[in-house]
Amino acid sequence: MSFRLLWVALAVCALPAQAQDQAVQRDLMRRQQQSEAFTQQLHQSQQLVNVPPGDLVRRRELESKQFSERQRFEQTSEQQVRDVRPDLPQGLRPYERLKAEEERRPLIVPVE
Cα separation of 75 and 91, whole Å?
27
Cα separation of 27 and 20, whole Å?
10
Which tens digit of pLDDT belongs to each residue from 49-82?
999 999 999 999 999 999 999 999 999 999 999 9
- Mapping DSSP onto H, E and C, the string for 62-85 reads HHHHHHHHHHHHHHHHHHHHHCCC
pLDDT confidence band for 109 (50 / 70 / 90): confident
CA atoms within a 13 Å half-sphere pointing along the CA-CB vector of 37: 16
Cα separation of 3 and 11, whole Å?
12
Average pLDDT over residues 89-96: 89
Domain ranges in the chain?
Answer: 2-108
Which tens digit of pLDDT belongs to each residue from 9-51?
555 444 444 446 788 889 999 999 999 999 999 999 999 999 9
Sign of the four-CA dihedral 22, 23, 28, 31: positive
Residue 2: predicted pLDDT = 63
What pTM does this model have?
0.74
pLDDT confidence band for 108 (50 / 70 / 90): confident
Q: Is the pLDDT of residue 101 over 50?
A: yes
